[in-house]
Every structure is written in C-alpha cells, then in structure tokens.
Chains A and B, each alone.
Chain A
Amino acid sequence: MSDFTSNFWSVYVAVITVVGIAACLLLLWFSGKAKAMTANDNTTGHVWDGDLREMNNPLPRWWVWLFVITIVFSAIYLAMYPGLGNSPGKLSWTQKGQYEAEMSKGEKDVAPLYAKFSGMSPEDMSKDPQAMAIGERVFMNNCAQCHGSDARGSKSFPNLTDGDWLHGGTPDKIKETIAKGRVGNMPPMAAAVGTPDDVKNVAHYVLSLSGSPHDSLRASLGKAKFGACAACHGMDGKGNPALGAPNLTDDIWLHGYGENAIVAIVNSGKVNQMPAQEGKLSDGQIQVLTSYVWGLSNGAKVAAR
C-alpha cells in the first residue's frame, strides 16, 4: 500500500485483527463455564419477575467446535491471503492477478478455435456456420450499438450491407477499418464554393448525380462550382475510397437526404469517426469479424440462418 507514508495503519489494522480473533477465543473460553445451581429442575437459579425462571439449556459442544473451526479458518486465511495489514499473504493473491489469470485461461481455451480460422479466406469463413455464429456475437456486442443489429446502420452510421464502402470493401480494407478505425473529414466548403446561392446550386448538382429529384437549372449552374468538391469526390462525383470521400452518385445518403442536408454539410463540414477496435478485440476476433462484415454484402448469406 503506497498510499500511506508510514507503516502505522497497516500495523494498526493487523493488531486489531489479531486481537479481535484472540478475543473471540477468550470469550468462548470464559463464557464456557458459569456458576449455576445444580437443582434437579434444570434451572440456573435465576428468577425474574417473580416466577420467570431461567432454564439451563446448554449449547451443544459440537456447535462450539464449529466456532473454533471458523477461528482456525480465519488464521489460515490471513496467512494465505492479504488481510493482515498490508501483508500480501503466502499466495500473493490479488484481484488483478486473478482477473489476468482468468483472462489468459479464457484466451487459451478459445485459441484453438481461432487458430482453425486463421488459415481460412474470408470467402470460406463466411460460409462456415461456426465462424459466422462467432462473428455475429462479436458484431452484436461491439458493432451493433452504432451499426444496428441488422448492420444496416442509421443516419451517420454506415450501412454495412449495401456494398457501398467509404474506405474500400475488400477484406483487407475492412480489417483495416475495424482494427485502426477511420476518421471521415469533410471540411466546411462554403467559402470555396462561393455565395449561399452557389452552395444551393452545388447541392442540386449533387442531387442530380444520382438522379434524385432536383432543380435542373440550379444543377447546371452548380456544375461549374463543383470543382471545389472534385478534389476529393472526383470530377464524376464517384468519390475516392483512399480519402474516405463518399460516392455521390449512388443515391446513398449517410448524413441525410435532400437539399437542406447537403447545404448544411457543405457549410459546416462533418467529422465522422469509427473508433479503432484493435486494443479491444483480439486478432482472431477481428479476423472473424472481418469475414462476417464482408459476408454481409457479398452474397454468401450466413449459413446458420
């Protein structure tokens, strides 16, 4: 215990503990005998309230031995485990140590399971019911909070089943996304685009790219201003997975649909983050999870279903 500058409290606690246990034994010893009448009626000779007599109904001796056993147990316990002041005990047991031992045992138990999958390709794994069952559980515990139980996401949380990938949909890229996380950064572009009216025109041009309902006059005016966006989203608006720039032509609207939503994003920008799972999940878990996520949009429906 490094929180104290001297050993005083440790000794204090240890002494109280030992004295307490010794006092229990002494109490047991001294209260074992009493001066009492040996009258035939089995009373102690004490009479209360005129006629209320105290019977002598002694405790069975085996019960006393149970008490002694608890005292012996406490002595052994204090010798083996931390408890006597800051003594760590013979076993040097700690909560942290037990946690780590249990975790490493758990990891050792599941290691052969993940070892089986380590040589498998994502394609094969996504057809393996056991791997997919594990993948589903890992997904439900770690991913479903944002991406939804059905992996179809929500506003600002990408849908993982639609084949549209911000950062690339190959197993390697998915694995990278899970392990390292991603930060999608759309800077505020209002100044680069021009006047508020220009921003509106660009929004209609963006809507037109996917054939969504738009004002074609505004769209044609906005096309000229789209140059500011093309640096990331490309001249054709098909995006760039290397930068995490979304494809604007596929009618998938992660941050909201329609003129207002697009204008808001152009004006204010957006930073959207997928947290890294590397420290949280083991390599084996990430690998199985990668296959599960890859399988969601790559045809091979989970065989377990």
Chain B
Amino acid sequence: MNHPDSADKRIIPIVPQEATPSDADDMVMVSLYQAHKKIYPRSVSGLFARWRWGLVFLTQLVFYGLPWVEWGQRQAVLFDLEARRFYIFGLVLYPQDFIYLTGLLVISALSLFLFTAVAGRQWCGYACPQTVYTEIFLWIERKIEGDRSARMRLDSAPMSLKKFFTKSAKQVAWIAVALWTGFTFVGYFTPIHELGQSFLHVTMGPWETFWVFFYGFATYGNAGYMREQVCKYMCPYARFQSAMFDKDTLIVSYDEKRGEPRGARSRKADPKTLGLGSCIDCTLCVQVCPTGIDIRKGLQYECISCAACIDVCDDVMDKLNYPRGLIKYTTQNSVQQGWTRSQTLRHVLRPRVLIYTGILVAVSVAMLVSLALRTPLKVDVVRDRGVMARIVSGGMIENVYRLQVMNATEAEQQYKITVAGLPGLTLAADQEELAKVAATESRWVVIRVQLPYEAAPPGSHPIHFEIAAQDSPARVSEKSVFLVPR
C-alpha cells in the first residue's frame, strides 16, 4: 500500500484500475438517467396486510373524520391561521403556545427513533401517508383494472374503447379521492361546513382553492404515479432510519440457509432428495413488493418493511405444508446465531431502546402535565417607552404600562389587575377596576402605576403585575420595572 516516496504517510491511492482487455468488450455507453419502470404490485392478504389495512382505516378515519366533529358551537379541531387561534377540542391555543407544537414534534421524532430501533421501518410500511394513500390508490386501481397480470396486460395492449373507459374510470375515482383529501386538508384551516358550501357554489377564496387543488394534486401524483419513487429518491427519513438500526433490529429477512438452493418442484416431491431448499422460486415475493425488490438478495435500502413478501410466502409455505417463516421479521443477530423467538425478544430491551423509551416517556409526561396545568390566560407587559416617568398631582411618580391580556377561554372574562413590588405602589385611582376581555380575544389595557414621591431611590425597580380572573382560578404574574427619575 505504501508509496515508496512517502513511507511515513498513509495514502489511499485513488487510481482507477485499468480495464482489462476482456472487460473492454463489455464497455458500452449507458444512460445515467434511468427511465421509470412501473411496478405492478400483486394484491396480498395475510396478517401484516390486515395490520396495514387496519392502520389505513384508523389514520384515515381520523384524518377525514376529525374536521366534521363539532365541539360546542364550533368545529372541534380548527387551526384558524388568520385569527391565530388554534382550537383543539377544549383547548384554545395562541401562537404563544408554540412550545406544544415543538413538544409534539419531539415526541414524534422520538417515537420514530424508538419504533425504528425495535422493529425497523414500521412507520414506512404501515402508517406513512405515502404508503397509506398508495394503498388506497392501488386498491382503486385493482378494483377497476384488475390485479397485477391484468394491469400489465392492459398497459401493454393498444388503445381501445374498453381500455379508454377503464383508464378514465380509474382517473375519475383517483381524482375524486384526491380532491376529497385536499378538501379535508383545507377543512382543518377553514370551517369545513362553510368550505363545503363555497366548494359547491364555486366561491372558495384564492388560497383555499389553491390548497384544495395543490394538496389534491400532490396526493394524486404521489399515490397514483410517484409511489415507491418518493421513498427511494425523495424521502429523507427512509435514508436516515438506517442509522437507527443495529443487529437487534427487526428486519424483513429471507432465511437463506433454509431456502437455498431454490427451485421448482412437485408438491409431492421431497426437497431433500432433490437437493433443494424450501424456496420454490415462485417469485411471488417479488411480485407483491411495492418497491420492486427481491428480498432474497438480502435487506436493501428500498425495503419499506411492509411485509407483503412475508404474507405471500407464508401462504405458499402453507400450501406446500412447509413450516412458515422462510421470509420473516427477525434480527440480524437472531439469524446469525440461530436464536429462538424468546431470545430475540429478550434483546429488545437493550440500552438504545431503553434510553429512547425513557426520553419519550419523560417528554410525553412533561407535555401532558404542562397541558393539564396550563393557565388559560396570558399577559404581556410592555412598559411605555415614550414616557419614562412623570410627576402627577398628589406628589406621585407615575409610570405607564400596556398590558396585553389574552383570554384563552371561550367565555368572556373579567380580570382584576393589581401591582406589587415596592412599598406604597398603587394603580392610579381613576382607572377601571376590571379588564373585560371577550372570548378568545386579546386586549391591550393601559395601566398607570403610581408611587409616592421619594418612596424609592432614583433608578429602576423590579415590580410585578398580578392578573387574576374573577370567575376562575386563572392568575398570572408578570414582571416589569418601575422607573424613578433623578
């Protein structure tokens, strides 16, 4: 390895090997831009397919259903961007509650870490919108065009009246689902009943129109056409999830020792006498794969851990009366060291998993507690910058403050404002006693605070305002300063 001139320096020689003459025959010009080869996943049924459909129903029931749920006089979940109020059932969140969104994102990220460390790309295979909508669009495709072989035949056939109608029917169904999805999405930001009215009467605002169609188009394009391309080329999670894998992570694996050598055989024949493994090379595992890979070549980055190949292979094994599990969820260690199921399970509880779980539980609990203890009242104190301090009748020094009082409840509230922090500090007498703030509104209240002359030395003194709701225990203390002039 060492270069003669630099024996002391380690240098990796980056020199391409000369192509040997025999290779030269194989050298051809190839395109570095690959044409998209359409994948026709075969339909699959079984335990994991049922799990996936269960999650499709669960997530989509929530997504499509939630905007229609009413809570009191309003939509239960509504993100009113224009008024900057976020309604989630009984909660009214202000932009100041942004920390909860951060918490939610932290929880989501940690959950992804945890699930991936334990069981690989479960998110990809079962819950990711890309998978879920692809599943829905594939289902429509299958209902209209037929299963894998029928679809392949249809695509290769010349255009005919029948093909035209079949394709059109699929497009109409796809576009309907896509538009409904876009409409539902916008329904989280605009009251969905009103949106429905304006959709039907074609009176939607420009942004609503844009987002219904843009989100719809994205659904249509991603679930109808891009499909596995999104996972392979666009999705960052797909790539960095492999960093969370270790040798005890569940992955979809083909049992090579048992399966090989593969080969077709009669159902009655004994594979041992034929010198064959369990794999009958039916290629069903390749046909059902939504990303078009052959799992028998080992784990590949395209694998979204959807387990379609497990379902279909188990079916085949059942038909042949072979034991299931030629392809199964297992770990690298388990395969290499021939562990039993319980040995594999015991390795789930490893430090990485325990740490992820610990942090996840801590953050979730902190978030829930802080939500439960949240005061539905917020106050910002802004000291008047123009007026430093002034002397008013009665020998009092006066400072002016503006208090932004934010009512995060859905009822009108009255707040009593008091001030403390210096002996003799009072609110100017001729001010209203109670600040009235309408439901979910915020209001600026101008407050004058007075201190007897010479009650405090010149300079800046910390004080605090106490704002207490009259009809509820909500109270807030906010700091500020009182300036005494020289």
Are A and B part of the same complex? yes
A154 near B386 with CB under 8 A, answer: yes
Any A CB within 8 A of the CB of B402: yes
B136-160 interface code vs A (CB 8 A; 1 in, 0 out): 0000000000000000000000000
Q: Point out the residues of chain A lying under 8 angstroms from B236, CB to CB.
A: none
A52-76 interface code vs B (CB 8 A; 1 in, 0 out): 0000101111111000000000000
Chain A residue with minimal CB distance to B12? A49
Any A CB within 8 A of the CB of B30: yes
A61 near B28 with CB under 8 A, answer: no
A63 near B233 with CB under 8 A, answer: yes
B390 near A152 with CB under 8 A, answer: yes
Chain B residue with minimal CB distance to A57? B34
A58 near B17 with CB under 8 A, answer: no
A48 near B16 with CB under 8 A, answer: yes
Chain A residue with minimal CB distance to B37? A60
Q: Determine the distance from Cα of A61 to Cα of B33 in the docked complex, in whole angstroms.
A: 5
**CB contact under 8 A between A36 and B30, given known A45-B23, A48-B16, A148-B400:** yes
Q: Point out the residues of chain B lying under 8 angstroms from A34, CB to CB.
A: 29-30, 32
28 contacts between A and B (CB under 8 A): A34-B29, A36-B27, A36-B29, A37-B19, A37-B23, A38-B27, A38-B28, A38-B30, A45-B23, A46-B17, A48-B16, A49-B13, A58-B32, A58-B33, A60-B33, A62-B36, A64-B33, A148-B386, A149-B446, A150-B446, A150-B448, A152-B390, A152-B398, A152-B448, A154-B386, A154-B387, A154-B390, A157-B386
**CB contact under 8 A between A257 and B32, given known A46-B16, A147-B386:** no
Interface centre among A38, A60, A149 (most CB of B within 10 A): A149
Q: Point out the residues of chain B lying under 8 angstroms from A144, CB to CB.
A: 384, 386
A35 near B27 with CB under 8 A, answer: yes
Q: Determine the distance from Cα of A145 to Cα of B402 in the docked complex, in whole angstroms.
A: 13
B29 near A33 with CB under 8 A, answer: yes
Any B CB within 8 A of the CB of A146: yes
Interchain CB contact (< 8 A) of B29 among A35, A48, A58: A35
**CB contact under 8 A between A149 and B384, given known A49-B13, A61-B35:** yes
Chain A residue with minimal CB distance to B234? A63
Any B CB within 8 A of the CB of A305: yes
B32 near A33 with CB under 8 A, answer: yes
Interface Cβ pair total, 8 Å cutoff = 105
**CB contact under 8 A between A47 and B36, given known A149-B400, A257-B391:** no
Chain B residue with minimal CB distance to A67? B33
With contacts A36-B29, A60-B233, A61-B36 known, what are 9 further pairs, Cβ within 8 A? A34-B30, A35-B28, A37-B19, A49-B12, A60-B36, A61-B34, A62-B36, A148-B384, A154-B388
Any B CB within 8 A of the CB of A211: no
Q: Determine the distance from Cα of A63 to Cα of B29 in the docked complex, in whole angstroms.
A: 20
Tell me the minimal C-beta distance from A31 to chain B in angstroms. Answer: 7
Tell me the minimal C-beta distance from B293 to chain A in angstroms. Answer: 13
Chain A residue with minimal CB distance to B401? A149
Tell me the minimal C-beta distance from A147 to chain B in angstroms. Answer: 7
A155 near B28 with CB under 8 A, answer: no
B interface residues with partner A (beta carbon < 8 Å): 12-14, 16-17, 19, 23, 26-36, 229, 232-233, 384-388, 390-391, 393, 398, 400, 402, 432, 444, 446, 448
Q: Point out the residues of chain A lying under 8 angstroms from B26, CB to CB.
A: 37-39, 45
A132-164 interface code vs B (CB 8 A; 1 in, 0 out): 000000001000111111101111010000000
Q: Determine the distance from Cα of A157 to Cα of B385 in the docked complex, in whole angstroms.
A: 13
B31 near A33 with CB under 8 A, answer: yes
A153 near B28 with CB under 8 A, answer: no
Q: Determine the distance from Cα of A45 to Cα of B12 in the docked complex, in whole angstroms.
A: 19
Any B CB within 8 A of the CB of A187: no
Chain B residue with minimal CB distance to A40? B26
Q: Determine the distance from Cα of A45 to Cα of B18 in the docked complex, in whole angstroms.
A: 9
Q: Point out the residues of chain A lying under 8 angstroms from B30, CB to CB.
A: 33-36, 38, 56, 58
Q: Determine the distance from Cα of A62 to Cα of B385 in the docked complex, in whole angstroms.
A: 58
Q: Determine the distance from Cα of A174 to Cα of B56 in the docked complex, in whole angstroms.
A: 68
Q: Point out the residues of chain A lying under 8 angstroms from B398, CB to CB.
A: 152
A32 near B31 with CB under 8 A, answer: yes
Interchain CB contact (< 8 A) of A148 among B16, B19, B29, B387: B387
* CB-CB nearest 10 A-B residue pairs: A58-B34, A148-B387, A154-B387, A61-B33, A150-B446, A145-B386, A47-B17, A149-B446, A64-B33, A37-B26
Q: Point out the residues of chain A lying under 8 angstroms from B13, CB to CB.
A: 49
Chain B residue with minimal CB distance to A61? B33
A58 near B385 with CB under 8 A, answer: no
Chain A residue with minimal CB distance to B485? A155
Please provide the chain A residues from 216 to 249 with a CB less than 8 Å away from any CB of chain B in the complex: none
Q: Point out the residues of chain A lying under 8 angstroms from B29, CB to CB.
A: 33-36
Interface centre among B13, B16, B34, B432 (most CB of A within 10 A): B34
Please provide the chain A residues from 65 to 121 with a CB less than 8 Å away from any CB of chain B in the complex: none
